[in-house]
Amino acid sequence: MNYRVYHNRASAFLRNNYLLILIFLLGLGLRIYNLGAESVWFDEAVSVAASKLGFLEQIRWSLASSDNNPPLYYAFLRAWVLMFGDSEFAVRLPSAIFGSLSILLIYIVVALLFNKKAALLSALILAVSVFHIQFSQEGRAYSLSVLLTLLSYYFFLKSVAERKRINSAGYVISSVLLIYAHYYGLFIILSQNIFCAWQYITHRKTGAPDPRKWIALQLILGFLSIPGLYILYRHSIGIQNNFWLSPPTLKVLYDCFELYSGSVYLLILLAALSLPAVINAGGTSVPRYFGGVFKPPAPSPGEGGTSYASSVFLLLLWLCVPVAVPFLISLVSTPIFFYRYTIAGSLAFYVLASFGAVGTGDKRFILLVAGLVLIFSSVNIFGYYERVDKPAWRAGINYIESNAGAGDVIVLHPWYETEAAGYYAERDDLTIISLSDGFYSAPDTGDKEFWLVLCDRWLDDVGNTKGTVERRIGESYDVLDTKVLPYLYIYRLKQKKN
C-alpha cells in the first residue's frame, strides 16, 4: 500500500472524526495540566508505598492492613514506578491516561447504544467534567475503574449484538480486571445481569442474550474472580466493627449527583435533559424544548443490538445499581457508600443527558447544550485549578528539614499522615512518629526539638481538636515557632525547663 493511500485514509479519518479528536485533546490537556503541582496526600502516599512491594507482599499487606482495596492498581503501579519513578507527576500520569482514554471509549459505547451525536456530547461532558478531571489527577484506581467499566460495557453490548468468541472473551477479561481494580465493579456486573434477565423475560425471542451462554460467561467470570472475592471477604470482615464511613443520608445522595455534575447549575441541566429521555423510553411524548414534542428515535435496534427503550433501561441500571445498592447496604449494615466509589455510575448520568439533548432532533438545541456544558464546566475547572485540595506536605516537610537539628522528632496528627510525610522525608536523622498521649508527658530530652504537625485535610476533625492540642502542648513545651500551610499547622517545640 503506497503513501498516497495511507494519506487519503488518514485525511478521511480526520475529516470524519475531527470533533472527537478535538474533544479528546481537550480532555487530555485538562488532565495533564498541573498534574504534579500539588503534594501527594494520604491515599496517594499509600499507593506509592504499596507500589514498592512485590506482588505477593502486596497481597499480604492488603490482607493485613486497613486499605480495603483490591490489588490490580497497586500491581500495575509497581511496574509503572519501576520504569518511570515515583514523582508526583509520574504517579498520577497513569490516571490521567486512563481518564483520557475513557473519553474515546464512552464515544464508542454511546455510538453503539444510540448514535454519534449523542456519543460526541457524552464525550464532551466527560472531557470537561471536573469530577473526572480530579480523579484523573490522583494516584488511585478510580479512573482505571472508569476505563474498565466502559470496556466491560463495550464488550457486553458487542456480545449481545454479535455472539462471537472474541466479544465474550473481551467481556470476561475486562470485567475480571474491573473487579480486581475496584470492588464496586461488582455492582456494574450486577447491573448487566439484571438487564440480561429483564431482556430474556420481556424479549425472549428478539434481542435477548442466550441464557445458557450468558450463565456460562458469568460462571467463568466468577471462577476467575475467586481470589479477589476472597480478599473482599477478608476486607468485609475487617470493616464490620470499625470503618471510617458514616451511614449515608438523602443529603449525601444528592451531594453525590451534584459532585457528578460539578455544580448545581450543571446538575439542573443534566437532570432536565435526562428526564425526557427516560419518559420517552416508556413511549410517552413529552414537551419539546423549542415547541412540538420530543420525537422518539427509531425503535429498531442500533449497532449495539438494543432498542431505544432498552438502551435507556440499561443506562438507568448502570446509574442506579452502583449508587442505590451500596446506599441501601449502608443503611442496614456496615456503611460502604462513598461518592468516589460510585464514579462509574456518573458515566450513565452523562449519557442519559446526551440522549435527552440529541433526542430533540434540533441542532440548535444540541449546540446550546454543548455551549452551556462548556461554560459551566469552565467555571468549575478554573476554580479547581485555583484552589489547593491537598495538604502541602512537600513544602511542610521541606520547611522542617531545612530548620531541624540532628535527632529532632516530627510528630504527626492524625496518625495515618505518616505515609504522606514519609513520602517527602529525605533526612535519615529525623524520626517521624504519630501523636499519642505519651507525647504530652515525655521525659526530658535535652536540647532535642519537636515538630508537631496537625493535618486538617477535611477541615473538621483536627479543626475541632486544634485548641485542645495547643493547650496541652503549652503545659510541657515552649512553642518556638509556628507555620501555617494549606491544611497544615506546624509547631516547633522544645520541652520546658523544670
> β-strands 477-485, 449-455: how paired?
unpaired
C-alpha pair distances (Å), 269 with each of 276, 342, 375, 377: 12, 21, 12, 12
Amino acid 432 reads I
Given a contact cutoff of 8 angstroms between Cβ atoms, the answer to whether 68 and 235 are in contact is: yes
C-alpha pair distances (Å), 286 with each of 117, 334, 355, 359, 363: 21, 41, 14, 11, 18
Domain boundaries, the chain: 13-386, 393-495
pLDDT, averaged per 10 consecutive residues of the chain (498 residues), comes to: 60 77 97 95 94 89 80 95 96 98 97 92 98 97 97 93 87 97 96 91 67 91 93 81 80 95 96 89 46 38 64 94 95 91 96 93 93 96 94 96 92 90 93 87 73 80 72 87 94 85
Given a contact cutoff of 8 angstroms between Cβ atoms, the answer to whether 109 and 147 are in contact is: no
CATH number of 393-495: 3.40.190
**What is the C-alpha to C-alpha distance for residues 357 and 377, in angstroms, rounded to an integer?**
17
Nearest to 440 by CA among 392, 408, 472, 414: 472
Burial 377-405, CB ≥16 within 10 A → b, else e = beebbeebeeeeebbbbbbbbebbbeebe
pTM for the predicted model, two decimal places? 0.91
- Residue 290: what pLDDT? 30
- Residue 291: what pLDDT? 33
Residue 165 per-residue DSSP state: H
- Residue 295: what pLDDT? 42
Look up residue 64 and give its three cell numbers: 493485613
**What is the C-alpha to C-alpha distance for residues 214 and 491, in angstroms, rounded to an integer?**
61
Question: Is the preceding omega at residue 414 within 30 degrees of 0, hence cis?
Answer: yes
